[in-house]
Amino acid sequence: MRSSPPGVDDLLRLVEALRLLDRSVDDATRVSRLRALEMLKAAASAAQARDTADLAASRHAQRAAAGVPPQERGRGVAAEVALARRDSPRRGAQHLGLATALVHEMPCTLAALEAGRISEWRATVLVRDTACLTRADRTAVDAEVAGDPAVLEQLGDRALGARVRQAAYRLDPLSVVERARRVERERRVTLRPAPDTMAYLTALLPVAAAVSVVAALGRAADAARGCGDGRPRGQVMADTLVASVVQHPEVPAPAGERGAAVRLVMTDRALLDGGDEPADVEGYGPVPAGWARELLAGTLDRGDEVWLRRLVLSPVSGRPVATDSHARLAPRALADWVRTRDAGTCRTPWCDAPARHVDHVVPHARGGPTTAENLQGLCEACNHAKEAPGWRASVVLDRAVVGRGGAAAVRGDPLSDEPPDDGLADDGPHTVVTRTPTGHRYRSVAPPLPGAQRGQDPRGQSGGPPGPDPLEVQDDGIAGVVERWLAGRLLTGALGLL
């Protein structure tokens, strides 16, 4: 008797069963189990690819029947895939592209993945290196390279990529050359955090340009060291790169600013009283308070400007509830307030991209107000995805998040277009619930700012006397206090604790 296909509950039971695997087996069994689990991972990847491709086809058919223009029928599908897989929107788009190619154009690769003969990554190599080919040529390369699973299984990543590219070039050399030209248009610069207040600055460049940049930096480092500079060669190259970009006179800076702006959020205690609460650098994350104080003092020492704005946090939830109406040099817009609250990062769950857009949670066209409560920071991709048919979002109050217990109180049902009730704004951290076309809901809670402690007054002491109370300082009083403190630090040359 033929058994029925496994359902979602069966898959969840399998997840639980894997947690209960016997650990008291011998080494030979462990190695055999490692192989079996690797095959299971590959088969699961193939099943995900089929579901992803079927979801995309279903969504296209539904929107075609509804009269949606062809170019809009796929909007939001990659974002749905990303949310379901707890992944970033960029990775969601990659998953969708991989699934579409495997299911519709590369049957041999899909079969090898289903059988556990190759990993999801090696299937990605096959798809990636045939992306420039026509459907017919891609299927031909698939049959040539992946048609014999026993041979395919023996190829490593580099050997597999080389074989695929050779086959692709033999079938359609013009497309391969054109792809190389097209990829040059994808050059970009990205930033990601590294440990110990460092960061990785990555440039994707044409190979000739990249080699030229490294060679130029190397020559500058060799010249400096030849003149007695004691810094290591790599350090001189890095410092030369920063100086040539940030301090170059032709690099445009925002009006009223010199060089590049760094947005730093820290408590008055950490700034004024030597507190050890971590500060936060927008686009990077938490940094030690001592490092932040040194950054500010060093900035003034170079003659650069420091802009100061007081931000008042709720003593209950730690969320920002007010800000100064005056900033040093220029007032900040509402968008700056939202970016500060959201730590400069896209609010979509599992998306770590910078928040390039500040947009309404409940759309303005549906009655959503332009207030901090109804705004969120989003990357460009997520902001466009939420405009797809069937997507809804709302601001909610979740008392469980702030440690009071109880059920979530929805402010603006995600199934409706009602704007949030601003009367509940101070009862918890800013929370947005997004509902996708399938009815799945995903919650996004704004990250805690420096000094925010759930259920406690964030103005409490942290080693030493308390700093000036933001609620008691006059409009421009804190700015003067901070300026005098920084000036005193520079006059005495002290960068340690007060």
Read off the pLDDT of residues 22-39 as tens digits, 9 standing for 90 and up: 999 999 999 999 999 999
| Better-predicted residue by pLDDT, 477 or 297 | 297
- DSSP SS3 for 36: helix
Band the pLDDT of 250: cuts 50, 70, 90. Answer: low
Is the domain of 471 the same as that of 375? no
Rounded distance between C-alpha atoms, residue 467 and residue 461, angstroms = 8
Is the domain of 239 the same as that of 94? no
Band the pLDDT of 458: cuts 50, 70, 90. Answer: very low
Is the domain of 467 the same as that of 439? no
Residues 6+ apart with CB under 8 A from 71: none
Q: What is the tens place of the pLDDT at every residue in 306-352?
A: 666 666 666 656 666 555 544 333 234 577 778 888 888 899 999 98
Is the domain of 409 the same as that of 477? no
Is the domain of 156 the same as that of 295? no
Overall average pLDDT of the 353-378 stretch: 85
Residues 6+ apart with CB under 8 A from 389: 63, 66, 68, 76, 437
User: Does residue 173 have a pLDDT over 80?
Assistant: yes
Q: 351 is written with which tokens?
A: 């998306």
| Better-predicted residue by pLDDT, 304 or 358 | 358
Rounded distance between C-alpha atoms, residue 420 and residue 412, angstroms = 5
Rounded distance between C-alpha atoms, residue 65 and residue 58, angstroms = 11
For the chain, the first-to-last Cα distance in angstroms comes to 79
369-404 burial: b if 16+ Cβ within 10 Å, else e: eebbbbbbbbbebbbebbebeebbbbbbbbbebbee
Is the domain of 174 the same as that of 36? yes
Is the domain of 292 the same as that of 318? yes
Number of domains in the chain: 4
Q: 395 is written with which tokens?
A: 């601001």
Q: Final residue of a domain: which of 141, 163, 184?
A: 184
Rounded distance between C-alpha atoms, residue 374 and residue 265, angstroms = 22
pTM of the full structure: 0.67
Note whether 486 and 496 are within 8 A (CB): no
Domain housing 350: 346-445
Q: Final residue of a domain: which of 184, 214, 233?
A: 184
H or E element: which one contains 218? helix 207-226
Q: 17 is written with which tokens?
A: 């069963």
